[in-house]
Amino acid sequence: MGNVTSSVAARFAFFPPEPATYEVFREGGAEGRLCLSGLSPERNVAVHLVETKVGNRVVATFWRHPLARFTLLYSHGNAADLGQMLDLFFELRAHLRVNIMSYDYSGYGASTGKPSEFNTYYDIEAVYDCLKKEYGIKQEDLILYGQSVGSGPTLHLAARLQKLRGVVLHSAILSGIRVLYPVKLTFWFDIFKNIDKIRQVNCPVLVIHGTADDIVDWTHGKRLWELSKEKYDPLWIKGGGHCNLESYPQYIRHLRKFINAMEKLSVAKQTTQSSLPTSTITEVKHNKCLRFGKR
């Protein structure tokens, strides 16, 4: 059954750029540090090859900000790879003052393997493990960001992590089939069943969607927001399409407002915990992002 689902997904959900828009290489030979073409050293970006539980090697980049309070784990859309999104990550890091961990799905860019729904889940799990082991990032300091099809792996991980700081859903889908057909029921062969997983997310959820999105109708975002347990003020960008929301000034303003709210929430929780008895304390550029259609 899983193989059937994966084949359905591969047929209409994954469009990795061919050829890849970047290369990964080692500076100074086999023992040198990993580098990504198009990234100069002064941009302060670390490159990783992360192995998933099924043996694929996924390219991940960690964009460090010296004053970061939070880390954004960014899952991109289905018709882009990391090479096309470098300028966006550079701008987000600067304006939001966050670290950013971005990665390419299996079969995208220089990542090995083949694209599939379940591989995207293994990919984000492996990248999250890298964040914990290499950088000591805690759930409380992590915000998951899913753009378009990237909302699938984002909500997969968010439903499993109970102490996340927040989730951002950007032009997100209710499920794969619902992008193509307005079905009411969830079928077993559907992919990225976000409509079910959003109900298991226990942190603040920000939804961003364009009202003129002609690929994923804005009602997908509206329904995901309605089903969220902890709703943050959504951003409906009037006239915004599917792949151009970053060009609207309210996009970065609203994201910055959300980050600031998460910082205040974190401080408030720490203050509340510290006042309790010790025994009760417990631990912009447009980018290609999604296409649908049979190959």
- pLDDT value for 184: 87
Spatial contact of 35 and 27, defined as CB atoms under 8 Å apart: yes
Catalytic residues, which ones?
Answer: 148, 213, 242
Q: Residue 187 — pLDDT band, cuts 50, 70, 90?
A: confident
Within a domain: 91 = yes
For residue 293, being part of any structural domain is answered with no
Residue 287 lies in a domain: no
Decide if 289 is inside a domain. no
User: What's the whole-number mean pLDDT along residues 257-263?
Assistant: 97
198-240 pLDDT, tens digit per residue, is 999 999 999 999 999 999 999 999 999 999 999 999 999 999 9
> Helix crossing, 117-135 with 2-12: angle to 10°?
90
Task: Look at residue 208 in the predicted model and tell me its pLDDT.
Answer: 98
Mapping DSSP to helix (H, G, I), strand (E, B) and coil, where does residue 211 land?
Answer: coil
Burial 176-191 (b: 16+ CB within 10 A, else e): bbbbeeeeeeeeeebb
Q: Count of CB atoms within 10 A of residue 266's CB?
A: 16
How much of the chain, in percent, has pLDDT values that exceed 70?
Answer: 87
How many domains is the chain built from?
A: 1
Q: With 0.85 as the threshold, say if the pTM is over it.
A: yes
Beta bridge partner(s), residue 60 = 48, 103
pLDDT tens digits along 124-177: 999 999 999 999 999 999 999 999 999 999 999 999 999 999 999 999 999 998
Task: Please indicate, yes or no, if residue 144 is contained in any of the structural domains.
Answer: yes
Residue 3 tokens read as 């193989």
Per-residue pLDDT at 283: 34
Is 292 contained in some domain?
no
CATH code: domain of residue 258: 3.40.50.1820
The residue among 41 and 288 whose pLDDT is bigger is: 41
What is the distance of C-alpha 263 from the center of its chain? 20
Token couple for 44: 């302060």
3-state secondary structure 5-31: HHHHHHHHCCCCCCCCCCCEEECCCCC
Q: Answer whether residue 286 is part of any domain.
A: no
Number of H helices, E strands in the chain: 8, 11
Domain contains 294? no
Rounded distance, CA 261 to CA 140, Å? 14
pLDDT value of position 281: 30
Q: Which residue range(s) make up the domain with 255?
A: 2-176+186-280
